[in-house]
Amino acid sequence: MRSRFEEQLTYLNDSLIEMGELVEQAIADANKALVEQDTELAKKAKSHENEINGMEREMEGLCLKLILQQQPVAGDLRLISSVLKIITDLERIGDHATDISTLTISLAKKQYVKKLDHIPLMAAATMKMVTESIDAFVKKDLELAQKVINDDDIVDNLFNTVRDDLIELLKSSTSNSDQVIDLIMVAKYFERIGDHATNIAEWVVFSLTGIHKDIKIMR
């Protein structure tokens, strides 16, 4: 019975890695499409959403089955509970990549009012956070998980820079107000992706320690 349980946990682990890689690809495609104003690539980025959603449903079903049938305790229960939370955050990251791609298709109709300097940096930082949060889970690396949590400040600072620059642009001229507002929304979606990567890292901490945001939940 235990060997079967271990096999299912391994499958869950592998599926989480696969879902993380797909989410990373969705972010990368969304960012490249935005920078290059490539509507076809934006459509491709949006197409990842259904597969990501399908993986979330499959993994959620397996997690619930493991809880109900195996009745795991202690570390195993923390692990499975964490996966349930992590896949929700990954699915939401996929949603934000889709949101960015939808705005990209609209933004491609006109030349950008300014060069996109900091938004691609936000994209790179968030992709790194997603990658490292999943790595932290797989490797059971508490130090790496904490690094991801700390790195959220980098994304937040970049968002503040993008927002402030675009607001100044809006103050000087309202002729491109729709585009400016859309670009602020794009930056906000990347900022939210960073928040979800932070959530994942916090659930990694919980899976290893039973502590979530400094509160002891489960031994």
Segment 87-140, tens digit of pLDDT = 999 999 999 999 999 999 999 988 998 889 999 999 999 999 999 999 999 999
Q: Is the dihedral of CA 192, 194, 196, 199 positive or negative?
A: negative
**107 and 151 in contact (C-beta within 8 Å)?**
no
Distance CA 219, CA 211 (A): 8
Q: How confident is the model at residue 216 (pLDDT cuts 50, 70, 90)?
A: low
pTM of the model: 0.93
Q: Give the Å distances, CA to CA, from 148 to 18, 104, 132.
A: 19, 27, 7
- Structurally, the chain folds into a number of domains equal to 1
- Amino acid identity, position 95: D
Query: What range does the domain containing 19 cover?
Result: 2-216
Distance CA 211, CA 195 (A): 19
The CATH number assigned to the domain holding 189 equals 1.20.58.220
- Which is higher by pLDDT, 216 or 20? 20
pLDDT of residue 62 exceeding 80, the answer is yes
**For 8-12, 48-52, 146-150, which range has the lowest pLDDT when averaged over its residues?**
8-12
Nearest to 45 by CA among 129, 108, 88: 108
Q: How confident is the model at residue 217 (pLDDT cuts 50, 70, 90)?
A: low
| pLDDT tens per residue across span 84-102 | 999 999 999 999 999 999 9
